[in-house]
Amino acid sequence: IPHDIRGYQITKNFNKCLDCHAWNRAQETGATKISVTHFRDRDGHELAGVSTRRYFCVQCHVAQTDAKPLVANTFQKSTGLQ
């Protein structure tokens, strides 16, 4: 998440993220639309709204920071998928 989310309310009845990232708001706000994958249930069926398993954004998405890494990183780019 490339912006501050302090104070954002995300409850079972309200999700502040959807004020900007919902499909019907994204063009107006300039925000990235929620992925279509967020509109599928665990069996792959399309839903009219955001799936309950994808509704609480901060379970997976976190605010970016300039913090130094906690551990050294030795990851290397894969050469097999080019």
| HEC secondary structure over the chain | CCCCCCCCCECCCCECCHHHHCCCCHHHHCCCCCCHHHHECCCCCECCCCCCCCCCHHHCCCCCCCCCCCCCCCCCCCCCCC
Q: pLDDT tens digit string along 6-55?
A: 999 999 999 999 999 999 999 999 999 999 999 999 999 999 999 999 99
Mean pLDDT of all residues belonging to the chain: 91
Distance, CA of 45 to chain centre: 20
- pLDDT in the model for residue 57: 95
- pLDDT in the model for residue 42: 93
User: Percentage of the chain with pLDDT > 90?
Assistant: 76
**pLDDT at 82 > cutoff 60:** no
- pLDDT in the model for residue 44: 93
- pLDDT in the model for residue 76: 83
